Structure formats: structure tokens, C-alpha cells
């Protein structure tokens, strides 16, 4: 049990949701727009105020009014209403449990961040469902060490966590130059073992091209967390944003929730890099032909907007061979993304098997 903090820090204001029937704490009920008492089961509806995912805040005017582009690291000092203990939240966290009595506490985002969340996507997947998804994922890993499935069961406790994401909208107009390659066939004469032979070969005829493409981007998602692997959070893209609700701290009761650590300008630069990949695919399609070369792309971004959304993830890690591997589970769909070890013995065995099979085929066709 952690030592109680008797420092003179001034506690911040916060939310703790108590049952009107018995006074016990209430948590968000997964799959419902309500709080449920963890003692008597009493239910308190959360006012439904569906977030309009098509409405974005203008980017340029917001950036101009920011006092600083990147947020400072924050540790909130809280005094629990239930047990009276004072303690510090983990860095850049604004919703979590009291370490003394496990009561759920939510700190208003606006105390330490200039921008508050616009929306929250509530959890649909319960903890036991998330654990089932993890077991299926770990069992289906190719080239995993044989002992992994047994050892990975001893993972760290899984934690429901809201992770901040920026969602960017933009209209783009891109002018490009490049080359279109068209395949054609021709006959060539070659000498093989002293004999003259003719062969039909495919060559590419290139010609210069230029043009323009336009595209409307909607909700290009960029993780605003630096406490989790960016590779994992970036790869988690399957969200039903139609289920988003206007931000309400009641949805956070019972979970951990992070403050954004990636500032809006840096998030937008990441968002533009994602858009550029889409734009280059559009340019290749517009160039046409059998092959494409892109020499230059000049893109103009207009009507740029953003939303700050809290996305539900079950977060945990497992220890294997003295190394920690992190994994996350989509709290809406159950999709798993994770780090994993590989068995190089299995990989080497497969390579040897392929080399042996190829060698056998070559020998039999001599």
C-alpha cells in the first residue's frame, strides 16, 4: 500500500460520482449511456449529447490563440473525497483510481490543458472480453516461441484507458509532375550457348505528365499520447466514430484517462504526413499507365479543422525472456495490436525448408 502524502500541495478540484441511493461510487456501465453503482447496482443515466463528428474547430485560428504549442508535463495532486488521502496522479493522467481506497477520480482537463476534449468514444468491450481477445491473439502468432503462450498468460493486469487522438479534416488541392510508363513488347536477338535465339521482352516507354487531384479528408486520426507505443496507437484505426458522445467526465469514471502530450501543431504535421500518402496514391492513379514516377507534388490545404477525441483502449503488457512487450486492445471492437517476440529457430527452419524445396525442384528439372 503506498505511503500517504502529507505534503502541503494544494489539491486540485475533481469529480467523484457517488450513488444517490447508498453513497458508494458509480462507474460508467460499459455498453450503456449510464453510471452504475458498484455496491447496490443503482443506475443513473448519462444525458445523451451525441457529438457531431462532422463538426470541427478551425485549426488556424486555434493555433494563433495558443499560449504555447506543446503542453507541459503535468502531475495532478488530488485529495480523495472517500478516504481523505492526498496523492499525485501519474504524469499526464487526469482520471484514475485512488491508490488507497480504489475510488475513481476524474480531474477536469482544463486545469492544465488549453484545449479540452470534444468527444469521447465509450467502451463497448468489457475486461473479460478483452482478455479473451488477447488469448486468441497470442495463440495465433506465427513464428512465436513455443513457451510464449504459456508464459504470456502471466501478463500485467489489464487497464481500461482513454487515449487522446487528434482528428483532422482538410480539403486538399495538389498539382503534380511526373512520368507515365506504358509497357510494350519487342523482339530481341540473343546468343545462348553459342546459338542465336530470339526472345520477346517487355520494355517501358516513359512520357512526361502533369495534372492535379483534389480530396476531402475527414477524421485523419493522430495519437496524442507518448506514454504508449506510437507504432501501436497509430496502427489502431478501426473506430466507429458514429458512436462518439460529447465529452462528459462521467464516461471516464472507472478508467484511466490521459491528457494529450502531442501538441496541436505537431499533431497536424503528423496528420499531413498521413494525408500525403493518400495524395500520392491519388496522383499515381491519375497518372495512369502501367508504371508511374512522381517528380513533384505541391499541395494546398484549406478548411483545416480538428477535434480532440478520447478513444477506449485496454492496455497491458507481458514479460518474456526478461523483456516487456506492450499490447493494446480496441475497447470498441476487441482488435489487438501488440509487440511480440519471434523464434529465430522457427524462422531459420522455414528458410532452410524453402531453400531445400527450391533446390529439389531445380535438380528434378535438369
CA–CA distances in Å: residue 82 to residues 13, 16, 17, 78: 14, 9, 11, 12
pLDDT at 47 (0 to 100) = 85
pLDDT at 29 (0 to 100) = 93
Residues whose CB is less than 8 angstroms from the CB of residue 218 and which lie 6 or more positions away in sequence, other chains included: 54, 169
pLDDT at 349 (0 to 100) = 56
Q: What is the mean pLDDT of residues 65-84?
A: 89
Please tell me which of 49-53, 57-61, 139-143, 236-240 the model is most confident about, judged by mean pLDDT.
57-61
Reply yes or no on whether the pLDDT at 351 is more than 70: no
Higher pLDDT, 311 or 326: 311
Q: What is the mean pLDDT of residues 206-221?
A: 97
SS3 at position 227: coil
Q: What is the mean pLDDT of residues 308-335?
A: 88
Q: Which of 55-59, 108-112, 282-286 comes out lowest in average pLDDT?
A: 108-112
pLDDT at 7 (0 to 100) = 46
Beta bridge partners of 257: 95, 162
In angstroms, rounded to a whole number, what is the distance separating the alpha carbons of residues 366 and 354? Answer: 19
What nine digits make up the cell of 56? 470541427
pLDDT at 1 (0 to 100) = 46
Q: Which of 99-108, 159-168, 352-361 comes out lowest in average pLDDT?
A: 352-361
Higher pLDDT, 353 or 29: 29
Asked if 103 and 82 touch (Cβ cutoff 8 Å), the reply is: yes
Higher pLDDT, 218 or 320: 218
Q: What is the mean pLDDT of residues 144-150?
A: 60
pLDDT at 365 (0 to 100) = 62
What is the tens place of the pLDDT at every residue in 149-171?
665 556 678 899 999 999 999 99
pLDDT at 6 (0 to 100) = 45
Q: DSSP labels for 256-290?
A: EEEPP-S-HHHHHHHHHHHHHHHHHHHHHHHH-SS
pLDDT at 5 (0 to 100) = 47
pLDDT at 179 (0 to 100) = 98
What nine digits make up the cell of 149? 503462450
pLDDT at 145 (0 to 100) = 58
pLDDT at 254 (0 to 100) = 93
Assign 353 a pLDDT band (cuts: 50, 70, 90): low
Question: CB burial class (10 A; 0-12, 13-18, 19+) of residue 287?
Answer: buried
Assign 296 a pLDDT band (cuts: 50, 70, 90): very high
What is the tens place of the pLDDT at every residue in 114-132?
899 999 999 999 999 998 8
What is the tens place of the pLDDT at every residue in 223-263?
999 888 888 888 888 899 989 999 999 999 999 999 999 99
pLDDT at 129 (0 to 100) = 93
Assign 341 a pLDDT band (cuts: 50, 70, 90): low
Reply yes or no on whether the pLDDT at 320 is more than 90: no
Reply yes or no on whether the pLDDT at 148 is more than 70: no
Q: What is the mean pLDDT of the chain?
A: 86
Q: What is the mean pLDDT of residues 260-268?
A: 95
* Stated pTM of the model: 0.85
Higher pLDDT, 136 or 29: 29
Assign 10 a pLDDT band (cuts: 50, 70, 90): confident
Amino acid at each position: 500500500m503506498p505511503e500517504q502524502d502529507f505534503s502541503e500541495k494544494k489539491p486540485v478540484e475533481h469529480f467523484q460520482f457517488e450513488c444517490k441511493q447508498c453513497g458508494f461510487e458509480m462507474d460508467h456501465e460499459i455498453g450503456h449511456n449510464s453510471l452504475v453503482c458498484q455496491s447496490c447496482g443503482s443506475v443513473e443515466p448519462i444525458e445523451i449529447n451525441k457529438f457531431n463528428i462532422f463538426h470541427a474547430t478551425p485549426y488556424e485560428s486555434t493555433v494563433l490563440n495558443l499560449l504555447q504549442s506543446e503542453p507541459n508535463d503535468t502531475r495532478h495532486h488530488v485529495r480523495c473525497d472517500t478516504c481523505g488521502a492526498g496523492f499525485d496522479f501519474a504524469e499526464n493522467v487526469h482520471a484514475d483510481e485512488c491508490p488507497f481506497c480504489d475510488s475513481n477520480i476524474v480531474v477536469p482537463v482544463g486545469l492544465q490543458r488549453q484545449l479540452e476534449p470534444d468527444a469521447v468514444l465509450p467502451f463497448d468491450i468489457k475486461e473479460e472480453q478483452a482478455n479473451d481477445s488477447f488469448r486468441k491473439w497470442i495463440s495465433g502468432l506465427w513464428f512465436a516461441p513455443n513457451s510464449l503462450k504459456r508464459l504470456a498468460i502471466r501478463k500485467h493486469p489489464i487497464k481500461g484507458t482513454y487515449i487522446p487522438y487528434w482528428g483532422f479534416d482538410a480539403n486538399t488541392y495538389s498539382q503534380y509532375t511526373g512520368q507515365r510508363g506504358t509497357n510494350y513488347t519487342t523482339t530481341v536477338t540473343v546468343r545462348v550457348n553459342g546459338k542465336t535465339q530470339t526472345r520477346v521482352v517487355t520494355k517501358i516507354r516513359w512520357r512526361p505528365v502533369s495534372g492535379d487531384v483534389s480530396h476531402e479528408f475527414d477524421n485523419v486520426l493522430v495519437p496524442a499520447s507518448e506514454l504508449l507505443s506510437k507504432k501501436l496507437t497509430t496502427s489502431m484505426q478501426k473506430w466507429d466514430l458514429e458512436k462518439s458522445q460529447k465529452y462528459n467526465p462521467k464516461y471516464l469514471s472507472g478508467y484511466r484517462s490521459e491528457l494529450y502530450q502531442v501538441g496541436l501543431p505537431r499533431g497536424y504535421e503528423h496528420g499531413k504526413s498521413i494525408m500525403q500518402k493518400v495524395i500520392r496514391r491519388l496522383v499515381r492513379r491519375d497518372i495512369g499507365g502501367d508504371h508511374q514516377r512522381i517528380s513533384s507534388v505541391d499541395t494546398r490545404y484549406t478548411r483545416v479543422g480538428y477535434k480532440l477525441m478520447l478513444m477506449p483502449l485496454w492496455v497491458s503488457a507481458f514479460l518474456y525472456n526478461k523483456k516487456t512487450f506492450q499490447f493494446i486492445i480496441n475497447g470498441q471492437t476487441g482488435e489487438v495490436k501488440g509487440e511480440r517476440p519471434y523464434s529465430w529457430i522457427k524462422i531459420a527452419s522455414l528458410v532452410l525448408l524453402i531453400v531445400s524445396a527450391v533446390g529439389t525442384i531445380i535438380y528434378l528439372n535438369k
